[in-house]
Amino acid sequence: MSATPTRSSSWTVRVREAGVAALPPEKLLPDGQPTYVASWIYVFGVASIASLVVIVTSGSILALKGPAWWHYTGVGHFFNSIHMWAVELFFFVMVVHLWGKYWMAAWRGGRAKVWITGAVTFLVAVPTALTGYVSQQNFDAQWISTQAKDGLNSVGVGAFFNVTNFGQMYSYHVLLLPLAVVGLVAAHVLLVRNHGVVPPFKLDERPSLAPIAKDTDGPAVPTGAQS
Amino acid sequence: MLAAVFNLNHPAHTVDWSFIHLSVANVVVIALMLVVFVLAILLPFPGVERRRGGSS
């Protein structure tokens, strides 16, 4: 009996072939981008990723050192501030990115999954930030957690988690929710690589803004179309 | 420890309009996002003419 599986029966081969078919190396790591990407409005996606890298790096250092370090030492305060301001920047550039993609209808051309993963990333980032605020181990965290507890209870989701439970919120903040955000961002980027960056609307697809001229001998035509 | 740039020892100032209740700090951030969004559309990107095969 042969122990060697055929190529088609090996799951590793099937996964590899499916991966290469969906994202060949030249699409995964392209040499360049289309000329229409040379606009500031296309910068905010990668700015969001850059902010996320700073957030994860500074957050990892805070997790290594602990609350006493980030509350009572100068370097700890510094990394605490880096972490908080990177989050502010992350939401700032992510919202501008979202506005830009909304107004260029970035779900066009079979890009629905790209749009959905981006929107869901934004929604998951909100509780990720909230659990960070309630994990600070100070009066600010106590105030925010008790206010959030009332708000969450009022909409009926307080039975599933407790924002005044530091251990639970800290676990959410340093493991579960960051995993979700990073995983969603990775899926989002791979989908962008797969489908390409959404192009702007074509000029000739825009409705004519020229005034309509009535021709007594024919149908109404835009003045811009007359020659 | 350095003092805060702004005096924070008072309740937050808010903007109230009908059911809308926002802190001034959040209104400033929203206004900045709008300004950056408009500038991102209007400002030319460095090297855009060269990328599109222009002369400059």
Contact A41 B41 (CB under 8 A): yes
pLDDT band (50, 70, 90) for residue B48: confident
Contact B45 A96 (CB under 8 A): no
Task: Please report which residue ranges of chain A form alpha helices under DSSP H.
Answer: 11-22, 25-28, 44-65, 67-72, 74-103, 112-133, 139-154, 166-171, 177-195
**Long-range contacts of the stretch A63-66 (C-beta < 8 A, 24+):** A63/A174
Report the 10 Å Cβ neighbour count for A82. Answer: 17
pLDDT in tens, B1-32: 567 787 888 888 999 999 999 999 999 999 99
The domain limits of chain A are: 37-94, 105-197
Nearest-Cα residue of chain A relative to residue B31: A92
In this predicted structure, what is the pLDDT of residue A226?
Answer: 39
Contact B37 A40 (CB under 8 A): no
**What is the arithmetic mean of pLDDT over A219-225?**
44
Which of the residue ranges A82-96, A189-203, B3-17 has the most confident prediction, judged by mean pLDDT?
A: A82-96
pLDDT greater than 80 at residue A5: no
Which of chain B's residues have a Cβ under 8 Å away from the Cβ of A92? 29, 32-33, 36
Q: What is the ipTM of this complex?
A: 0.82
pLDDT greater than 50 at residue A219: no
Task: Please report which residue ranges of A104-210 form alpha helices under DSSP H.
Answer: 112-133, 139-154, 166-171, 177-195
Structure-model confidence comparison of residues A132 and B51, the more confident one: A132
- Residue A3 φ/ψ, nearest 5 degrees: -90, -5
Which of chain A's residues have a Cβ under 8 Å away from the Cβ of B35? none
- Interface of A to B at Cβ within 8 Å reads 35, 38-41, 43-44, 77, 88, 92, 95-96, 99-100
pLDDT band (50, 70, 90) for residue A190: very high
pLDDT band (50, 70, 90) for residue A225: very low
Instruction: Identify from A96, A101, A144, A201 which residue to disrupt to test chain B contact, counting B C-beta atoms within 10 A and taking the largest count.
Output: A96
In this predicted structure, what is the pLDDT of residue A206?
Answer: 61
Q: What is the mean pLDDT of chain A?
A: 88
pLDDT in tens, A129-142: 999 999 999 999 99
Nearest-Cα residue of chain B relative to residue A88: B29
Contact B40 A100 (CB under 8 A): yes
pLDDT in tens, B25-36: 999 999 999 999
In this predicted structure, what is the pLDDT of residue B12?
Answer: 84
